[in-house]
């Protein structure tokens, strides 16, 4: 499967040195709202970051490398990919796949723990006239190996409104984001692909509304909720890779507070993640401000270790 091939081929390495991360980081002056809505683009690099809607063309020059087109929409959108044309020779080990989420260095966003891999990867080869796929969140990858010269594909990328966003990948410099479990038993996370400062603006996690009428009684922000045995909590931390289950955790918080007055977190890691674990017993929501750390003289509250 391609998720293994990418690692074996050595094309993807640690997130803090990834060509994908560098490409996105190099566009720090471009806000998400300023992206062009439609475009046409020829895929001529092995690793391509597609932030715009439009049509993408690929024609093989020969060679057996495994490559990818990384697609990213607004946090409250889905990625829809239509394969308008595909001609990839199966007999020469040609293969194309659609992956729901991102994969870097063998790590997935969202992680397999929070979103099982089953149903997230679709592989095919041969001739294909029309096939449409949709991601569950705002990130998707087209991975491909097309050894036969002249073979290739054409895809059309569109972004659609996500009525219940859960897992979000963020490439903007700063913004305000809200995570909700929508009353479901599901883990949701937001990952910024840069070192970031986090400011908690509102939290209602692990509090049963039935026992707190109109939420008039606030508990404040409680710390170390995971170690207290809480079933619903928010982990704040970071990692050098995409897998949120492998991140270093600064704290796990829960409680009810409409105006928290707690210090900001400064996460000096390749990836900054807020992960909300929900049992489904309570309707959880958390709102926070995320901004990229550009002043590296700032005192970090968490600093990730560099890989050996």
Q: What is the pLDDT of residues 160-173, one digit of tens each?
A: 999 999 999 998 88
Residue 54 region by backbone torsions, left for phi larger than 0, else alpha for psi between -120 and 50, else beta = left
Asked if residue 120 has pLDDT above 60, the reply is: yes
Give the total residue count for the chain: 308
Sole residue written with tokens 């996370």? 189
Minimal CA–CA distance to 234: which of 260, 265, 203?
203
Cα 5 to Cα 21: distance, rounded to the nearest angstrom: 20
- In terms of Cβ atoms closer than 10 Å to its own Cβ (0-12, 13-18, 19+), residue 274 is buried
CB–CB of 76/160 below 8 Å?
no
Asked if residue 49 has pLDDT above 80, the reply is: yes
Determine how β-strand 77-88 pairs with β-strand 271-277.
unpaired
Asked if residue 214 has pLDDT above 70, the reply is: no
Determine how β-strand 220-223 pairs with β-strand 248-257.
antiparallel
Mean pLDDT of 276-302: 93
Asked if residue 20 has pLDDT above 50, the reply is: no
Mean pLDDT of 236-261: 93
- In terms of Cβ atoms closer than 10 Å to its own Cβ (0-12, 13-18, 19+), residue 275 is buried
Asked if residue 273 has pLDDT above 50, the reply is: yes
Listed range (28-37, 65-74, 84-93, 195-204) with the worst mean pLDDT: 28-37
Q: Which two tokens stand for residue 77?
A: 């959108």
Q: Is the dihedral of CA 132, 135, 138, 140 positive or negative?
A: negative
Domains defined along the chain, listed by start? 2-161 (2.60.120.290), 173-303 (2.60.120.290)
This model's pTM is above 0.85: no
Query: How many other CB atoms sit within 10 Å of the CB of residue 268?
Result: 18
Confidence label for 4 from pLDDT (cuts 50, 70 and 90): very low
Host H or E run for residue 25? helix 19-25
| Reduced 3-state DSSP string for 100-154 | ECEEECCEEECCCCCCCCCCCEEEECEEECCEEEECCCCEEEEEEECCCCCCEEE
CB-based contacts of 127, cutoff 8 Å, min separation 6: 86, 87
What percentage of the chain exceeds 70 in pLDDT? 84
């Amino acid at each position: 499967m391609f998720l293994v091939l990418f690692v074996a081929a050595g094309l993807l390495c640690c997130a803090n040195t990834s060509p994908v991360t560098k490409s996105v980081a190099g566009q720090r002056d471009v806000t998400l709202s300023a992206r062009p809505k439609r475009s046409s683009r020829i895929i001529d690099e092995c690793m391509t970051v597609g932030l715009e809607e439009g049509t993408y063309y690929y024609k093989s020059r020969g060679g057996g490398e495994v490559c990818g087109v990384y697609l990213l929409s607004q946090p409250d959108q889905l990625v829809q990919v239509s394969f308008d044309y595909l001609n990839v020779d199966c007999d020469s080990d040609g293969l194309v796949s659609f992956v729901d989420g991102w994969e870097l260095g063998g790590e997935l966003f969202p992680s397999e723990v929070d979103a099982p891999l089953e149903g997230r990867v679709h592989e095919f080869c041969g001739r294909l006239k029309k096939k449409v796929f949709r991601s569950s969140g705002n990130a998707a990858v087209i991975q491909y190996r097309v050894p036969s010269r002249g073979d290739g594909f054409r895809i059309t990328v569109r972004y659609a409104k996500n009525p219940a966003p859960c897992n979000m990948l963020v490439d903007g410099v700063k913004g305000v984001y809200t995570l909700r479990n929508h009353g479901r038993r599901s883990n949701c996370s937001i990952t910024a692909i840069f070192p970031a400062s986090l400011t908690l603006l509102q939290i209602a996690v692990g509090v049963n509304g039935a026992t707190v009428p109109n939420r008039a009684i606030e508990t404040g922000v409680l710390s170390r909720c995971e170690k207290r045995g809480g079933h619903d909590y928010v982990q704040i931390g970071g990692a050098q890779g995409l897998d949120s289950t492998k991140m270093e955790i600064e704290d796990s918080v829960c409680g009810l507070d409409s105006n928290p007055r707690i210090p900001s977190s400064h996460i000096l890691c390749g990836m900054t993640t807020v992960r909300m674990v929900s049992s489904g017993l309570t309707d959880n929501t958390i709102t926070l401000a995320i901004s990229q750390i550009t002043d590296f003289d700032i005192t970090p509250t968490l600093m990730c270790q560099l890989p050996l």
